[in-house]
């Protein structure tokens, strides 16, 4: 992270920590050009419901699509929760040891709103928290200096309608580092910050580690496609463009051992860029971070494993045969039909994914993000008596006499 970004974020967080919501409002005025009212920060539930009703009437197909996304994400999240089982192991004397999953008490979810608005991200962050059982979920998204619904602070009506559909009751018009600082130091402060954002959001999350938990340090989005001659060049070109249109820093890379395919994709890109309504951002992104790479299977796998991209498409006739060797990516899209866009818009698995090579050791956002494991130790007197001698011996070896005596007392108490 650049030094100027670190310094700017540090100054904002220090101010919000000191002055609270007033500082968050001041920074919103300076950075977003919106003068908020401390008495009317929370988006009223009536405004959320109005947005939903208006869109149901004006754009029923859009609301139907949003509900499909929500249903798929919720179904997948509920499956995740069922897979997270509590553990209990018996001990010889009749006691047990184990662990259980417990929901966090509070979570703050960040919904980006700079170049675009993302109701899909609102659903992807809120639903896993709801399924996990988080009691208080607070959403934040940047306001805009434009008229929308009363009390909405310029937030897009589709985001408001999505919040209503999800049953989210706390949505506030804060963006950037000031939003995360306000969540982390608020009353009450949240236990976890989740959701993607720009470099200022990522840096704020990094600086707030220890104050509260975070889901991940998300950077610019990434797509790597591995393809062979069976792939459709038009499909591949659109997949690369779909990734590049996110952001000028988005990475979109195609690797194939088939030169003819790469040449066909290059031609498709050129033709489609000329007619694209997103041409400016696409050209900037593809020029900086777009690549067409010719490599054999061994080198392609090595590249994928080393990069650990956020998204990895396998447009290959024998995609399943590659899977055992591709373990580091955040999400895999297997087969030509499985475009990354389906993952972004609600196939089920979460689209908030690790970036910047962090997929080597971290996972997509999900229900487990909003849960913690709690160890459980339940000893019977017989178990305590059996353990006491060797626990006492180890404690003595480490110079912790009272640990040993604490165990020995239980051992002596057992008949």
- Alpha-helical regions (H) of 119-225: 119-132, 157-166, 176-185, 199-208
Q: Can 402 be counted among the known catalytic residues? A: no
Q: Can 310 be counted among the known catalytic residues? A: yes
Rounded Cα distance, 251 and 291, in Å: 8
User: Active-site residue among 311, 313, 351, 392?
Assistant: 311
Rounded Cα distance, 196 and 151, in Å: 25
Could you tell me how far CA 73 lies from the centroid of its own chain? 13
Would the CA dihedral through 380, 382, 383, 387 be positive or negative? positive
| DSSP letter for each residue of 303-324 | HHHHH--SEEEEE-TTHHHHGG
Sheet containing 136-140: give its strands across.
171-172, 136-140, 106-110, 192-194, 213-214
DSSP helix/strand/coil, 372: strand
Rounded Cα distance, 70 and 352, in Å: 15
| DSSP letter for each residue of 100-150 | EEEE-SEEEEE---SSS--HHHHHHHHHHHHHHT-SEEEEE----SS--ST
> Is-cis flag, bond preceding 376, omega within 30?
no
Task: Enter the DSSP assignment of 1.
Answer: -
User: β-pairing, 290-294 with 251-256?
Assistant: parallel
User: Active-site residue among 165, 268, 310, 313?
Assistant: 310
Contacts of 4 (CB under 8 A, 6+ apart): none
Helix (H) or strand (E) holding 231: none
Residue positions annotated with a catalytic role: 310-311
């Amino acid at each position: 992270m650049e030094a100027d970004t670190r310094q700017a974020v540090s100054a904002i967080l220090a101010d919000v920590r000191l002055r609270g919501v007033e500082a968050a409002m001041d920074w919103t005025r300076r950075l977003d050009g919106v003068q908020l009212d401390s008495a009317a920060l929370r988006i009223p539930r009536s405004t959320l419901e109005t947005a939903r009703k208006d869109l149901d009437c004006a754009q029923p197909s859009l609301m139907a699509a949003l509900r499909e996304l929500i249903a798929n994400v919720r179904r997948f999240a509920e499956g995740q929760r069922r897979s997270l089982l509590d553990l209990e192991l018996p001990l010889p004397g009749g006691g047990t040891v184990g662990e259980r999953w417990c929901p966090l008490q509070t979570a703050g979810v960040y919904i980006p709103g700079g170049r675009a608005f993302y109701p899909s991200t609102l659903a992807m962050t809120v639903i896993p928290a709801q399924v996990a059982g988080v009691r208080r979920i607070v959403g934040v998204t940047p306001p805009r200096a434009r008229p929308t619904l009363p009390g909405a602070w310029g937030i897009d009506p589709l985001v408001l309608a999505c919040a209503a559909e999800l049953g989210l009751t706390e949505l506030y018009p804060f963006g950037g580092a000031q939003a995360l600082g306000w969540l982390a130091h608020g009353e009450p402060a949240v236990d976890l910050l989740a959701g993607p954002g720009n470099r200022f959001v990522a840096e704020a999350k990094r600086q707030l580690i220890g104050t509260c938990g975070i889901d991940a340090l998300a950077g610019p989005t990434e797509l790597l496609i591995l393809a062979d001659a069976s792939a459709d060049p038009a499909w591949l070109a659109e997949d690369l463009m779909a990734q590049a249109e996110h952001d000028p820093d988005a990475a979109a890379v195609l690797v194939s051992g088939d030169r003819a395919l790469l040449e066909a994709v290059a031609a498709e890109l050129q033709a489609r860029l000329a007619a694209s309504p997103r041409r400016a951002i696409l050209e900037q992104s593809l020029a900086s971070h777009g690549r067409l790479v010719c490599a054999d299977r061994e080198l392609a796998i090595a590249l994928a494993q080393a990069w650990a991209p956020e998204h990895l498409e396998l447009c290959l006739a024998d995609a399943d045969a590659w899977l055992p060797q591709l373990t580091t990516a955040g999400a895999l899209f297997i087969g030509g039909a499985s475009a990354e866009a389906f993952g972004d818009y609600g196939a089920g698995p979460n689209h908030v994914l690790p970036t910047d090579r962090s997929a080597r050791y971290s996972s997509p956002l999900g229900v487990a993000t909003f849960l913690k494991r709690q160890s459980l130790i339940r000893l019977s007197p017989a178990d305590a008596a059996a353990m006491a001698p060797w626990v006492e011996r180890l404690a003595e070896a480490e110079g912790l006499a009272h640990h040993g005596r604490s165990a020995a007392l239980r051992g002596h108490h057992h008949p």
